[in-house]
Amino acid sequence: GEPKMKRKPDARLTLCLVVCLMTFLLMPIGAVAGSISLSYANFPPAPTFPCVQMERWKTEVEKRTNGAVSIKTYPGGTLLGAKEMMDGVIAGQADIGNLCMAYQPGRFIVTNATSLPLGIPNARTGSLVLWDLYKKYQPEAFSQVKVLTMFTTAPANIMSKTAVRSLDDIQGMDLRASGGAAQILKAWGANQVGMPMSATPEALQKGVVQGLFSSLEVMKDLKFAESCKYVTMTDTVIYPFAVVMNMDRWNALPPEVQKVIEDMGTEQAEWTGTYMDQHVKDSMEWSVKEQKVDVIALDAATKKAWDQKLQFITDKWVTDAKAKGFPAEEIVADIQKLTQQYQ
């Protein structure tokens, strides 16, 4: 009877394996914790809004896939810098990357139209407009990646040491601003001074610049309210961002994980815009209350005069984009129509 004794454990072992295998196959998505790990590269420092949205997205994806996906985030250019973000993701140096399209205006023509001076009033509106625009036109510039979401900054406004209430006040004023804002400031009669945001507080103290042109969360975040006691609301331009994923990595994801990520595209755009706007609001409330900052609103006639000085920027973009075969007038009209819709 000895051989019989041997067979029983075998049968039991087989049954056990079958049961284990069935259990494993029937397990809900994500029971194998962190079985898919993804890297997510970002260029600005961790406390900034593009990195805050990255951490929120990571947390939500990990939660909604029941831990099947784990995401390692790399803020502050530790994996890829601002300018190499797109090509780095295409090459697979990072699985996911967050880029600012404004850094490469000739490459991202359609989406960069949102940074024309078209009066997008806040980041929530900007983010939803941008995302819709991308979905409608599916620009060729993104054909090599999977686009996960898009969002924008809040609009740029003037923060200054002396009051700017009219175009006369801004003549010859040296203001810190990034690339695309140079022609705007020039059109108004001011001078753009390019420098890192981190160098700006000292430049303000030394009088190298008399203010800056940027979104207003920096009034509190970088304590600009201590030297810039005036804010002029021009609500001029926003800057567009995209979150992109390596196409091979995307295609390798299980369909249920893809669905979780797909379903978050619009929600993440809106979440980020809303977060940014709230951040600006908090910053300005603090600036007015704690730092006695004077917020200057331009009356309708003045605002119109300021805006008219910038019309040539949109006109030139239309001419250039049309020459490259883009439906430029339609793109501008869509941005204006969507802005009204989301406002």
Q: What is the pLDDT of residues 288-340, one digit of tens each?
A: 999 999 999 999 999 999 999 999 999 999 999 999 999 999 999 999 999 99
Residue with tokens 């420098």: 195
On the question of pLDDT at 31 being above 50, the answer is no
The pLDDT confidence band at residue 183, using thresholds 50, 70 and 90, is very high
pLDDT of residue 22: 58
pLDDT of residue 106: 92
Burial class for 248, CB neighbours closer than 10 Å (0-12, 13-18, 19+): exposed
Give the C-alpha separation, 203 to 222, whole Å.
13
pLDDT of residue 240: 97
On the question of pLDDT at 50 being above 70, the answer is yes
Give the C-alpha separation, 18 to 9, whole Å.
14
Give me the helix-helix angle, 311-323 and 328-342, nearest 10°. 130
Question: Three-state SS for 87?
Answer: helix
Give the C-alpha separation, 185 to 170, whole Å.
9
pLDDT of residue 196: 87
CB 208 within 8 A of CB 270: no
Burial class for 221, CB neighbours closer than 10 Å (0-12, 13-18, 19+): middle
pLDDT of residue 180: 79
pLDDT of residue 34: 66
pLDDT of residue 103: 86
Give the C-alpha separation, 176 to 37, whole Å.
40
Instruction: Taking residues 177-205, report their average pLDDT.
Output: 92
pLDDT of residue 15: 65
pLDDT of residue 161: 97
User: What percent of the chain lies above the pLDDT cut of 70?
Assistant: 90
Give the C-alpha separation, 313 to 320, whole Å.
11
Kindly report the average pLDDT of the chain as a whole number.
92
Q: pLDDT digit string (tens) for 97-110?
A: 999 998 888 999 99
Give me the helix-helix angle, 265-291 and 49-64, nearest 10°. 140
The pLDDT confidence band at residue 251, using thresholds 50, 70 and 90, is very high
The pLDDT confidence band at residue 30, using thresholds 50, 70 and 90, is very low
On the question of pLDDT at 222 being above 90, the answer is no
List C-alpha distances in Å: 268 to 174, 226, 257, 315: 36, 33, 16, 32
pLDDT of residue 8: 54
